[in-house]
Structure formats: C-alpha cells, structure tokens
Amino acid sequence: MADPRGHAADREALGGSSLHLVGVGDVSKRILLGRKLRSSQLGETLLSKRIALPVFASDALSSVAYAPDEIFIMLSLAGVSAYTMSWQVGLAVAVMMTAVIASYRQTVHAYPSGGGDYEVAKVNLGPTAGTTVASALLVDYVLTVAVSISAAAHYASSGLGALQGHETVLAVLLIGLLAALNLRGVRESGLYLAVPTYLFMASVLGMCAYGLFRLAQGTLPRAESAGLEILEAPGYDGELTTVALLLLLARAFSSGCAALTGVEAISNGVPAFRKPKSANAATTLALLGAIAVTMMMSVIVLAQQMDVRMVDPFQFDRLVDGAGNPVAEQHALLAQIARGVFEGFPPGFYLVVMITGVVLTLAANTAFNGFPVLGSILAEDGYLPKALGSRGDRLAYSNGIVFLGGMSVALVIAFDAQVTRLIQLYIVGVFVSFTLSQLGMVRHWTRNLSLTKDAAERRRMHRSRAINAIGMSMTGAVLVVVLITKFTYGAWITVLVMGFFFLVMRRVHHHYEEVALELAVDEEDRVMPTRVHAIVLVSKLHKPTLRALAFAKATRPNVLEAVYVDTDRVATQQLVRAWDERDFDVPLKVLHSPYREVTRPIVEYAQAIRRASPRGVVAVYIPEYVVGRWWEQLLHNQSALRLKGRLLFAPGVMVTSVPYQLESSQVARERVAREQDRVKAGDLRRGRVVDEDEGRQVRR
C-alpha cells in the first residue's frame, strides 16, 4: 500500500541508526557483520589500568572510611585498654585481604569473561551453589548502598555541622538521588570516576604519611576525643576470661573484615580491561590490595597513637568526659585523624572529609551499576525473568534500580543510618560468596589438572589451587566466625533475605524448565494447516481498516471476510450502506451483539470457524492506530488490546496487528530512538562504553 510519507519516515525511524538509504543486501550484510567502526573504536574505549583502578576501586578503598572504626568500636566494649590490640586485629584483616586478593588474581586468569563469583560457583559447584552465591550478591548490593551512604552521610555531617543529627534524612535523599540518576541513565566515564578516587587516595595516603612523619618527629597531636573516658560495657567490666577476650577479638576482626568488601568487583569487570585483559586485571587487583592495606594499617596506627576514643553510637552513654558527663557526638576515625594531623590547616581536614563522602557515594553507585548487570546474568541463566536479560528493556532495568533503592532506604531508616549496626548484616553475604567462589576455584584447578599433562602448566595450576585453597579455608573460617559473632546482632536478617531470594530464583528456574519440557519438539508439530480463513475486523470505514483489508488480501487466504460487530442498529446500517457503495470484493459479515459486547462475539466466531475446520487456521487482522503520546494511547486500541488478549487463548487462531501510523506517532518514534541510545547503568563496567564522537555504544 502506497504511503506517501513512507520513505521519509523510514529514513528517520530510528534516529541516527540508519545513516544511509541502502538496499536489503547491503543492510543485511552490514547487520550480519556488525558495524564497521566497531573494531577501531574498541581500543580507545576499553579501560587502561590507570583508569580501571579508580573505576573498580571506589567500593573496596572507601571501606577504609568505616572498617577501622568498627575495630575500635568493638574493642571499646572492654574499655580503652583493649585498644592496644587494635593493630593486631588490623594485621589479621590485612592478612585476610592479601589472601583474598591473591585468590581473585587466580580467578581473573581462569574466568576472563567477567562472570565473577556467581559464574565460578555455578560452573564448578553446580546450580545450587551458584544460586546461593547469587542470593548473597543481591543482598550485598543492597547493603553496599546502605552502608556506604550511611557512612557518607556521617562524613558530610562531620564537615558541615548543620547536618548533625539529620544523617538518616540525608542518607535517604542521597539514595534517592543516586536512584534517580541511574534511572535517568548516567554516562559513567573513566575520567569522572578517576578524579575523585585518585584525589581520595592522594589525600588519605598524604595525610597518613604526614601523620606518621609527625609521629616520628614526636609532634603528632592527640585526637579530639583523646581526653574522653570509655566505660566498659556490661559483662566486660573487670578481668576478661580468655574465651571472652578471644570472642571480643573475633567480633572486632569480623567487623574489620568490612574492609574486604568490593574486592571482587574487578573479577566481574575483566572484559572492560585492555588486552591482555586478565594480566591487567590481576595487576590492578594487586595494586588495589596494596593501597587498601597501606591505608588501613596507617589509619589504625595513627588512631591508636592519637588516643582516639570511640564507642557504639547506640551506647553513647559509655563515652564520658573527665567530669563523667556523656558527650554529644563522635566523629569518624578519618575525620578525627584529619582534624589532628592538619591542625591549624582546616582545608586539609575539609578535603579529606569531603572527598571521603564523595568516594563513599561513588561506592554506592557501583551497586546501582552492578545490580542490573547481575540481574541480567541471572536472567540469561533462567533464574530471573528472561526480560531482565535484555539490555534493551528499560523497564527491567528501572525495576531493578527502584528495588535496590527501596530496599536500601528501608535498611537506612530501620537502622537509623548507623554504620555499626548495618555492618552486622553486611559481612555474611560477602563471605558466603568469597568462600563458595574459592571452593569453586579449587574444583576448577583440580578438574583442569586432570586434563593437562604439561609439567610447567601443571605446576602453575598446583600453585593456583594452593592459593585458592588457602583463600577458601581462611574465608570459610571467617564466615563461621562472622555467623557466630553477628548472627543475633542482625546477620539473621541477611540469612533470611538470602533464603527468600534463593527460593524465588529456584521457583523461577523450575517454571522455565517445566515450560521447556512442555514445549520440546516432537514429530507431530510439523503438520501444516490446510487452509487459512482470514477475518478483518472492521469498526469504521477508514484508512486503517482499508490498510488491514489490503494487507490481508495480499496474503491470499482461502477465505477472506470483513467482520463487524453490531452494537447499534443505526451505525450498522450506515456501515453496511457505505460498504456496498464502495463495492469491495470482500464480503462483510455482521455479528449481532445483544449485550453490546465487542470481544465475545468475535472470539466465539473465530472459535466456531476453527471448530468447523480443525485442520485450518483462523487469521484475525486487527487495524490499529499508532499514536505518540501516552494519553492518546489511552484513547485508542483498548478494545483491540483486550481482544488480542482473549484471542490468545483460542487454539488455531493467529492475530495480526496492522498498524496505521498517525502523524503524532512521530513523537514516540523519536522517544524510542533516544531511549535505545541511552546509556544504561553498568555499561562502563561491562566494557560497553560510549564513543563520544559517534554517540554509539560499543562492546568488546
């Protein structure tokens, strides 16, 4: 059918995506081979180590802003005297960190595809372990947002006194802002992540270096809280038994292990690295580990030397001044150290505090990026609705972001934005995925060893397996410690939610498997229908109807009828007259509808045709208007939609929509084009980045 606007509209149909008017052969070749620019763009857009470090490091490095604090807070239960053990606890955490980093260096070599812990567990330990890790990771993303943003809010209030006491509101607003930005589609660029992260590293490491220098000089000042006294918690007063002391150290250690969160991010992001991908990722991991350990140990040493005093913010009455009066507030370690080290130089203090808040917010943003990506991987494996697996589905992405935002806001409100409380929930999930993933790696090497004869190769594998085995034993031990020390303090919530996610994913997977079974092909399915009985639905005699008639006629069915539902005698007579006048060669069938229903008579008629000829097929052609604005959509096609929904249940009936594009549809067409080219959360980390010149998205 000739549409005078056809050509022009085609050319504009997808915005910039069809650059030239080309023949089918040309286009299909182009589609089959992919766009020409693709390989040349590749090199420019993948991440160098220099840029990859800040892109993936914000989560892991930012934990120095709260993990050392938690060590001091836990030790404070037994009073200031326990602080002497802080550096030992810190050292234990640093050893853990080294082991975990070493383990993940093996993973990035073995799994360069970026599946991360989930892929490792699934491939090597089976679907149950995979689903368990996935549940843990989903919970982790929520807690990363809640913990990082709560900490960021506290840093903001350390810098800006006016915010003091409004940390929860501030945290909720920050999460809302992040969710909104990600819903809108923020273009993450390496530069925009690199500047604050490098600034953070520089200022924190610089502060520590200057502090240690002053310590060596003997001019290190005392912290603002140095003059305060800590009252021991009930049960911790007096001499501690060995068991109680060990338990206290274990609790402090497992809280300190919060420093390990975010290390696994690089293992998910290998595809985004430049070649050699795995080697570069492994180097970046080592660098990340070195920086994280240096920062954490420096902070712990400085804090102890400056006589910092911290208690659980829910037990503030245990922190008293010389006269025995409780104090009103306490600041984070980094803030206290910065204020001391940079005394007389306020810009130094403000820089550290502000940049820490920014990097914590970036860390939360990594969760907003990672959550939909993990969702899409799980969807591809059939554990979540398949639609989540398609990058194009904005709705699926949006639901993920809204879900993540909502859950973390709920946590922040429930725990009053108190990092010390949220940490109790955090570590369980992290260590579940660490442990299962290392166990999977051990299996991986064992299997590969049985396949290789090459001695050098086998030696390398033996070494890797040893590293992963050590990592697994250590993370497994910590998992047990964490479960014991934190279960009643909140970890049970994590376990519960993980269980819920686990069951949902199992149920979804079970459904897909059942459907696959029901749909498996057998020989009978190749029988072709003997005849096609086409009916074109007529509601009025206008262009869409004529187009549907023409299209239906073009398919040359065995029978072709136009069908009209009579709900109003006068209108029916008018239509019949108009039909006869225009002298169509298609008969018009009028279905009487005594109750003025439209759907039912058509469905019944289609079913009756099919019953009369069970080996034939009924083709129902529905003319549809295509409009551009949401409210216009409400004004049209509702009956067509309902009818299509009902006809789906009739066997042997297929339904054809014949669209007629009204002028206003151009609005929607442009919206779709904009939408398709928009950046989605997580693109950068998956190596799917935007080339600034072309405005087109590229993937390895």
Tokens found for residue 465: 């397996």
Contacting range for its own copies; rule: CB under 8 A; set: 9-17, 127-135, 188-196, 480-488: 9-17
Residue 53, beta-bridge partner list: none
Q: What string marks each residue from 36 to 75 as x (binds its own copies by CB under 8 A) or -?
A: --x-------------------------------------
Other C-beta atoms lying within 10 Å of the C-beta of residue 624: 19
Nearest approach in angstroms of CB 322 to its own copies is: 55
Q: Is residue 636 at the binding interface for its own copies, with CB under 8 A as the rule? A: yes
CA dihedral sign of residues 459, 460, 463, 465: negative
SS3 400: helix
Binders of its own copies among residues 203 to 232 (CB under 8 A) are: none
Q: Is residue 544 at the binding interface for its own copies, with CB under 8 A as the rule? A: yes
User: Which of 610-614's residues contact partners 24+ apart within 8 Å by CB, and which partners?
Assistant: 610/650, 610/651, 610/652, 610/653, 613/530, 613/531, 613/533, 614/652
Q: Is residue 396 at the binding interface for its own copies, with CB under 8 A as the rule? A: yes
Q: Is residue 164 at the binding interface for its own copies, with CB under 8 A as the rule? A: no
The C-alpha atoms of residue 514 and residue 508 are separated, in whole angstroms, by 10
The C-alpha atoms of residue 212 and residue 207 are separated, in whole angstroms, by 9
Cα torsion through 141, 97, 353, 59, rounded to 10: -30
The C-alpha atoms of residue 58 and residue 200 are separated, in whole angstroms, by 9
Amino acid letter at 126? Answer: G
The runs of H, that is alpha helices, within 391-454 are: 394-414, 419-449
The C-alpha atoms of residue 604 and residue 635 are separated, in whole angstroms, by 26
Contacting range for its own copies; rule: CB under 8 A; set: 184-192, 201-209, 491-499, 646-654: 646-654
Cα-flanking dihedrals φ and ψ of residue 227, to 5°? Answer: -80, -5
Nearer to its own copies, 49 or 600 (CB): 600
Contacting range for its own copies; rule: CB under 8 A; set: 75-83, 298-306, 349-357, 634-642: 634-642
* SS3 per residue for 591-610: EECCCCCCHHHHHHHHHHHH
Nearer to its own copies, 268 or 304 (CB): 268
Nearer to its own copies, 12 or 307 (CB): 12
| Nearest alpha-carbon partner for 643 in 604, 684, 590, 683 | 604
Residue 362, beta-bridge partner list: none
Q: Is residue 387 at the binding interface for its own copies, with CB under 8 A as the rule? A: yes
Nearest approach in angstroms of CB 580 to its own copies is: 15
The C-alpha atoms of residue 250 and residue 481 are separated, in whole angstroms, by 7
Q: Is residue 35 at the binding interface for its own copies, with CB under 8 A as the rule? A: yes
| Nearest alpha-carbon partner for 473 in 123, 92, 67, 103 | 103
- Largest Cα–Cα distance of the chain, in whole Å? 106
Nearest approach in angstroms of CB 273 to its own copies is: 19
Q: Is residue 383 at the binding interface for its own copies, with CB under 8 A as the rule? A: no
Nearer to its own copies, 166 or 696 (CB): 696
Nearer to its own copies, 459 or 577 (CB): 577
Contacting range for its own copies; rule: CB under 8 A; set: 249-257, 451-459, 489-497, 536-544: 536-544
Residues 6+ apart with CB under 8 A from 496: none
Q: What string marks each residue from 575 to 614 as x (binds its own copies by CB under 8 A) or -?
A: -------x------xxxx-xxxxxxxx-xxx-xxxxxxxx
Nearer to its own copies, 50 or 642 (CB): 642
CA 585 to each of CA 420, 553, 559, 566: distance values in angstroms, whole numbers, following the listed order: 79, 10, 12, 21
Contacting range for its own copies; rule: CB under 8 A; set: 6-14, 54-62, 91-99, 101-109: 6-14
C-alpha 279: how far from chain center: 26
Q: What string marks each residue from 491 to 520 as x (binds its own copies by CB under 8 A) or -?
A: -----------------x--xx--xx-xxx
Q: Is residue 651 at the binding interface for its own copies, with CB under 8 A as the rule? A: yes
Q: Which of 187, 447, 462, 642 binds its own copies (CB under 8 A)?
A: 642
Binders of its own copies among residues 235 to 274 (CB under 8 A) are: none
Nearer to its own copies, 328 or 519 (CB): 519
Number of residues in contact with its own copies, rule: CB under 8 A?
Answer: 131
Nearer to its own copies, 180 or 635 (CB): 635
Contacting range for its own copies; rule: CB under 8 A; set: 212-220, 420-428, 450-458, 630-638: 630-638
Nearest approach in angstroms of CB 400 to its own copies is: 14
Tokens found for residue 638: 């509702």
Binders of its own copies among residues 657 to 676 (CB under 8 A) are: 657-663, 665, 668-669, 672, 676
Nearest approach in angstroms of CB 283 to its own copies is: 28
Other C-beta atoms lying within 10 Å of the C-beta of residue 63: 29
Cα-flanking dihedrals φ and ψ of residue 542, to 5°? Answer: -140, 180
Contacting range for its own copies; rule: CB under 8 A; set: 117-125, 228-236, 290-298, 534-542: 534-542
Q: Is residue 3 at the binding interface for its own copies, with CB under 8 A as the rule? A: yes
SS3 38: helix
Segments of 481-616 assigned E as strands: 532-538, 559-566, 588-592
